[in-house]
Amino acid sequence: MGNTQTRQVLEIVRHPRDASGRLFPADLRELRLPSGARVQDGSREFATVICCICADGSYLDSAIVMKAEDGLQDSWFEKLDNVPCNILFGVSPNGWTDSSKAMAWLDRNFGHGSVTEKKAAGEWQMLFFDGHISHVNREFLRTCIDYKVLPVCLPPHTPQPLDVSVFSPLKFAYSDILRKRSQAGEKGVWTGNFYTLFAEAQNAAFTPENIRSGFWHAGLVPLDLEVVRRELHFPVNKPAAPAKATRSAPHPQPSSPPRSLSSMSLAEVRAITTPRSQHALHNLTQSLSLDLQSSDSPRTRGLRHAIDKLSKASMAALRKRDQLRERLLQETTESREIRAPKPGRKRRIPADGPVIKNKEIQQHFDGLEAGPGSAQFDKLQKLKDKAAKLDVRVQELVAKKRKYSAVEDEGRKLPATWKSVARLEEEESKEQDRLKKMREDIKKLESELVQEDESGSEIEEGENREGG
């Protein structure tokens, strides 16, 4: 951030707040924020929604995790109608999911008698998920195998079906619903109406076309290894094919037919992004062409011709970009192999004089350059560095012990991933003993170096007197 933005952030942090901790007043006019800037008053809370979609265009009932300390409240469900029987509601102190809630979701949606088990009809299923700790643990993975589900953790920075074509329309639909409610005079989102708002947005965004498009663009269904390899930036093992050998049709047809723009909802149209790949460009061009097929007027024919020319030029540019990217990766790999140091005997060449091949002579010169107390001084510096790091480690253990003790004093149970307070005290005691031993060694080395300096200065004074 620049100096201006930093100053505005500090003013917001130091601004007065009311008894509940919210910024006061709400408009914050005296802060002189730039046009379009918004400041949250601190009243928002986290809520986690676990979503799951299927390559056939269907989706499972989501799981909602609210922020609460005392469990679910009856008042949250007084005005809820037509709630699906498979949906799960849960609470946590911070509104996040955890391993127990992930296990409950897995058992409800993939366990014995579930909807997915009936759909699979005894066959194995495949579940794609990200690397969240609630999914990547022994109990979750073992239960997946028990339910005949193959767990697949997608690597980071790879396209995921929900991220590609579902979450963006969902966010737009949710924002559009809140905007319409605000215009109608209905304001406020709380735990009692959040599910109603989310369900309405989910019905608008989780369409079969969006879901199938997400799997297709991610290269999962149908399987397209080129899409996955390109997103992971894998180096090419063989040289790029010449221009004449390039495929004339680089895109497989999507599993679901392209839809015209006129058949899409406003949320779906606004969710269309700039095509970054040949895949996306081909899909968008097909959607535009479908809108112009109903008419054969001269104007429509001209538009189709112009779209075709633009598509071919853009496709050629993207194909050229992909070829240059692969060539750059190949050249980078080759240059690294060339620059890699070759194994061989290292030689030291002094600033003046020939190469010294005798190790004993070399060590003699190294000793002259380093000085008599250099080795001990280096040892002292290393000990000080280790002691400083160990001191930081001790401070961290002390802070953790205080935090864990506070949790136990409140009567709450420590999470399974945390160490016990007794274990922390044991580790702290061991580290304190190591730190005490290091400090004693440091004092001993410092005293030895001081004695060497004093004896060296006495010898120099004696030589000076003899010379005089």
- Which tens digit of pLDDT belongs to each residue from 264-318? 777 777 777 788 777 778 778 878 777 777 677 778 778 878 887 888 888 888 8
Residues 28 and 66 both lie in one domain: no
Q: Are residues 34 and 125 in the same domain?
A: no
Same domain, 278 and 233: yes
* Tens-digit pLDDT profile for residues 54-109: 999 999 998 999 888 878 777 777 777 778 877 888 888 888 888 999 999 999 99
- Give pLDDT, residue 110: 94
55 neighbors 220 (Cβ within 8 angstroms): yes
Domain match, 18 and 62 both: no
Q: Give yes or no: residues 224 and 312 share one domain.
A: yes
Domain for residue 52, yes or no? yes
Same-domain check for residues 382 and 326? no
Together in a domain, 21 and 50? no
HEC-encoded secondary structure of the chain: CCHHHHHHHHHHHHCCECCCCCECCCCCHHHCCCCCCCCCCCCCCCCEEECCECCCCCECCCEEEEECCCCCCHHHHCCCCCCCCCCEEEEECCCCCCHHHHHHHHHHHHCCCCHHHHHHCCCCEEEEECCCCCCCCHHHHHHHHHCCEEEEECCCCCCCHHHHHCHHHHHHHHHHHHHHHHHCCCCCCCCCCHHHHHHHHHHHHCCHHHHHHHHHHCCCCCCCHHHHHHHHCCCCCCCCCCHHHCCCCCCCCCCCCCCCHHHCCHHHHHCCCCCCCHHHHHHHHHHHHHHCCCCCCHHHHHHHHHHHHHHHHHHHHHHHHHHHHHHHHHHHHHHHHHHCCCCCCCCCCCCCCCCCCCHHHHHHHHHHHHCCCHHHHHHHHHHHHHHHHHHHHHHHHHHHHHHHHHHHHCCCCCCCCCCCHHHHHHHHHHHHHHHHHHHHHHHHHHHHHHHHHHHHHHHHHHHHHHHC
- Domain membership of residue 459 (yes or no) is no
Provide the CA 120 distance to its chain's centre, in angstroms.
Answer: 32
Give the pLDDT confidence score for residue 365 in this predicted structure.
Answer: 55
pLDDT in tens, 353-397: 555 555 555 555 555 555 445 567 778 888 888 888 888 888 888
Neighbours of 427 (CB within 10 A): 16
CA 25 – CA 15 distance, rounded (Å): 9
309 within a domain of the structure (yes/no):
yes
Tell me if 54 is assigned to some domain.
yes
CB 231 within 8 A of CB 159: yes
What is the C-alpha to C-alpha distance for residues 193 and 76, in angstroms, rounded to an integer? 7
Which residues on neighbouring strands pair with residue 59, listed in sequence order?
A: 53
365 touches 356 (CB < 8 A): yes
Q: Residue 165 in contact with residue 210, Cβ under 8 Å?
A: yes
Single out the residue in 138, 153, 168 at which a domain terminates: 153
pLDDT of residue 148: 95
Cβ 204 vs Cβ 265: under 8 Å: yes
Examine residue 85 and state whether it is found in any structural domain, yes or no: yes
- Residue 213 sits in the same domain as residue 334: yes
Q: What integer pLDDT is reported at residue 52 of this predicted model?
A: 95
Asked if 36 and 112 sit in the same domain, the reply is no
Single residue among 153, 172, 190 that ends a domain in this structure? 153
Q: Is 116 inside a domain boundary?
A: yes
123 and 139 inside one domain: yes
- Asked if the structure places residue 172 within a domain, the reply is no
- Count of the separate structural domains present in the chain: 4
Which residue did the predictor score with more confidence, 262 or 203?
Answer: 203
pLDDT confidence tier of residue 257, bands split at 50, 70 and 90: low
| Burial class of residue 461 (count of CB atoms within 10 Å of its CB; 0-12, 13-18, 19+) | exposed
| Higher pLDDT pick, 304 / 50 | 50
Pair 212, 324 in one domain: yes
| Shared-domain flag, residues 37 and 61 | no
Read off the pLDDT of residues 432-459 as tens digits, 9 standing for 90 and up. Answer: 888 888 888 888 888 877 676 556 555 5
160: in domain: no
Q: Tell me the residue range of the domain where 258 lies.
A: 206-339
